[in-house]
Amino acid sequence: MKKVTFIHAADLHLDSPMTGLRHLPATIFSRVKESTFTALKKLTKTAIDRKVDFVILAGDLFDGEDRSLRALSRFRAEMRRLEENGIPVYIVHGNHDHLNGSWIHLDMPPNVYVFPGEVEIKKQQTKTGERIHLYGFSYPTRHVFEKKIVEYQKEEGADFHIGILHGNEASGTVHDNYAPFTVQELQEKDFDYWALGHIHKRAVLAESPPIVYPGNIQGRNKKETGSKGFYHVTLTEIDTKLDFIEAADILWEQVKVDASTVSRFQELLQLCQKEINKYRKEDSAAILSLYIKNLQLADEHEMKNVETNLLELLLEEEKDEESFVWIAEIHITKSQQIDKEQLKKEVNFYGNLFETIERFENVDEAIASLYEHRLGQKHLSPLSEDEKRELIVRAEKLLLDLLCN
């Protein structure tokens, strides 16, 4: 059966300056600066390990039109590794690395093919004899607003037809409307796969044929959250397999923490540490924005400067950690202060509720089933009077949160 496998990536943004992150500790900032290259290495390694037929890079390989020399030479080194393994690379350039920029030209190895400024068909045969037609163009200048899709014309004579396009799906208004297209227009071309680039968020716009934005391979700021990587695609005459592979060395993520169950700073710290550790991975690092809601510490003194103190403690050991989880920012929303006296006046129900809570003495009875349970009998020790009191306070807090928010 005819079969072709390839890697589809886009928006590498190599050597992105990572602006706005200079305040990070030097070790962490240099790891972030390196991250686009680390992700590229993961890509080439995967291509070699999985013995793909070729690699497609669908635009914005370089972050700037001047394509830093560092980016060019590091990119070339990776392309050479692919060449040594007999893997061709098909490239279109996008709005960030359009052909009209000025840069120092380094010759790429012969396995690298760059599509020109007009739509062209590249014909290729794989090692196992499958004939492939690849269609694409590079941005001749930064701004390409024309509907380039009309220039893609299927030419018979291949087992698989693959369109490469750096552009914006026309219904999306958030992004620069470069080389706009609709899903229907792509489908009408009757190709077997559409390798898109431009949008940094991963999206499969259609399944048959697959129309795919792989997203960028490495997030560059707190807005580019979630796992980032590329697709390993397998096309056969009867079906398609899309295997997403994570490449990012640094994960950016927004983390929400509900602090309504804590009343002391120490507990808040532990709660945050627990959440943060979920993002600790052996072979990558993370930078998080922490959103803490419903916070109300019992001690007013602990509430003062809580953000600064929390941040200081959470970051204490991360600087020297290989798999660091750095907290870039903390946002705290305090739980609404509930005025019990006011509530009592407003609604009779609250008067009864608070009275019941104040008089409540049956904590033992309320938690009896825990102690009767086989595991409870084994592991639980009896509660002190203070602990019982605290349970009541927490239960009241929980009830009021549920009733008032």
The contact set with Mn ion (CB under 5 A) reads 11, 60
Compute the least distance from the CB of residue 12 to Mn ion, in Å.
9
Tell me the closest approach of the beta carbon of residue 166 to Mn ion, in angstroms. Answer: 8
Q: Are the C-beta atoms of 4 and 160 separated by less than 8 Å?
A: yes
Between 13 and 388, name the residue whose CB sits nearer to Mn ion. Answer: 13
**Ramachandran bin of 333, using left for φ above 0, alpha for ψ from -120 to 50, beta for the remaining angles:** beta
Euclidean distance between CA atoms 288 and 254, whole angstroms:
6
Smallest distance, Å, CB 94 to Mn ion? 6
Nearer to Mn ion, 60 or 249 (CB): 60
Residue 76 CB, nearest approach to Mn ion (Å) = 21
**Closer to Mn ion by Cβ: residue 11 or 65:** 11
CB closer to Mn ion, 93 vs 161: 93
Residue with Cβ nearer Mn ion (16 or 111) = 16
Return the residue nearest Mn ion (CB atom). Answer: 60
Taking alpha carbons only, the member of 309, 328, 123, 126 closest to residue 220 is 328
List the beta bridge partners of residue 212. 195, 204
Largest Cα span, the chain? 86
Q: Write down the least CB distance from residue 60 to Mn ion, Å.
A: 3
Of the pair 11, 318, the CB lying nearest Mn ion is at: 11
| CA 88/CA 37 separation, integer angstroms | 19
**In the complex, what is the shortest distance from the CB of residue 388 to Mn ion, in angstroms, rounded to a whole number?**
58
CB closer to Mn ion out of 196 and 310: 196
Cα(13)–Cα(22) distance, integer angstroms: 18
CB of 237 to Mn ion, least distance (A): 33
Residue 11: CB minimum distance to Mn ion, A = 4
Cβ contacts of 77 within 8 Å, gap of 6 or more: none
Backbone angles phi, psi at 268, to 5 degrees: -60, -45
Considering the complex, state which of residue 163 and residue 219 has its C-beta at the smaller distance from Mn ion: 219
Determine contact, residues 75/43, Cβ cutoff 8 Å: no
DSSP type of residue 146: S
Q: How far is the CB of 62 from Mn ion (least distance, A)?
A: 10
CA angle, residues 147, 148, 153, in degrees to nearest 5: 125
Cβ within 8 Å of residue 94, ≥6 positions away: 10, 11, 58, 59, 60, 61, 138, 139, 166, 178, 197, 198
How many C-alpha atoms does 288 have within 13 Å on its Cβ side? Answer: 27
Closest CA to 57 of 86, 93, 100, 82: 93
86 φ/ψ angles, rounded to the nearest 5 degrees: 65, 35
> Which of 132, 165 has the CB closer to Mn ion?
165
Closer to Mn ion by CB, 65 or 192: give it.
65
Q: Residue 321: how many CB atoms within 10 A of its CB?
A: 13
Q: How far is the CB of 68 from Mn ion (least distance, A)?
A: 16
Please report how the helices 26-49 and 69-84 are oriented relative to each other, as an axis angle in degrees rounded to 10.
30
